[in-house]
Homo-oligomer: A and B are copies of this chain.
Amino acid sequence: MEAPETGKVRKVGELAAASGLTVRTLHYYEQIGLLVPAERTEAGHRLYSDSDIERLYRIDLLRRLGLSLADIGKALDDPAWNLKAALGAHVRELERRLDQERRLHSRLAHLLATLGSTHGELTDDLLTILEEMTMLDTNAQRRISTLVYADPETAYDFLKRVFGFGPGQLTRDEAGHVVHGELQAGDGVVWLHLESAEFELSSPRSLGAATACVSVLVDDVDGHFERTKRNGALIVYPPRDQPYGYREYSARDCEGHLWSFMKAID
């Protein structure tokens, strides 16, 4: 949405074009009392004032967060309404839905792979497969990558600052030493783990090599690269189009873990 020109009233079509919404949507917002234009012409045409436009801008912002129009109305008009609480409830609802959809997706992916060569009509064979698939629930649901660090506290700050991950948290023992770290990265979480002789886990800095790496899909590979470079990470190679269909760059974190950031080309 472009910056509103002050002092100008707009008709519904102009506002629709400027906001990317449809005329019908603006009609509807008036109908439910969410955005009632300040005036009408004699012929009944809607005239939106500056403050109407400002209000629409806020509506649009909250819509993008997935709030219902009813909740948006309350957030804008009821001073006692706690937006943070509403967003919290909303995010939990979203997580519930995501969990369901991930399960469903896992089942469907398995199913389609199993179907592989069959013709595609609903035969008894296919029904048997379906049945087994639907019952099957020893399925993996989510994946958490754990990376080993000698100094997880420094690593935590590095990953937040340089790669832009987060939110997350550090867990400490009674003595105040960090024993565990968690950071949001993409669609899930990355755990930071201490080195451990018992489990044969070491930082790449100690070993001189890594046994795993993490690739992260981002929307703007070059933008992310600029940020990483500016923040002083060791660049392994700058963004380039790879033959396997991704634009990708690669960098090391403070203890030598290899990260790559990529986006599918078209």
Q: Interface residues, chain A, CB within 8 Å of chain B?
A: 58, 61-62, 64-66, 75-76, 79, 81-85, 87-88, 90-91, 94-95, 97-98, 101-102, 104-113, 115, 118-122, 126-127, 130-131, 134, 137-148, 163-167, 180, 184-188, 190-191, 193, 199-204, 207-220, 223-224, 227, 236, 244, 250, 256-258, 261
Contact = CB atoms under 8 A, between A and B. Distances in A.
Contacts of A141: 186-187, 216-219
Nearest to A137: B219
Contact of A108 (B85, B91, B97, B166): B91
Contact of A107 (B65, B110, B121, B244): B65
**Residue of A75, A105, A208 contacting most chain B CB atoms (<10 Å):** A105
A229 to B, nearest CB: 13
B209 A202 contact: yes
Given A61-B134, A110-B166, 4 more contacts: A94-B108, A138-B227, A191-B215, A201-B211
A145 B143 contact: yes
Main secondary structure, interface of A, reads mixed
A124 to B, nearest CB: 10
Contacts of A105: 91, 94-95, 98, 187
A199 to B, nearest CB: 6
Contacts of A143: 143, 145, 185-188, 190, 214-217
**Residue of A186, A190, A209 contacting most chain B CB atoms (<10 Å):** A209
A138 to B, nearest CB: 5
A91 B204 CA distance: 38
27 contacts: A61-B130, A65-B107, A66-B104, A75-B122, A83-B121, A83-B122, A84-B112, A87-B115, A91-B105, A97-B101, A98-B102, A138-B164, A139-B219, A141-B219, A142-B186, A142-B217, A144-B215, A147-B211, A187-B187, A188-B188, A200-B204, A200-B210, A200-B256, A202-B211, A207-B211, A211-B212, A212-B214
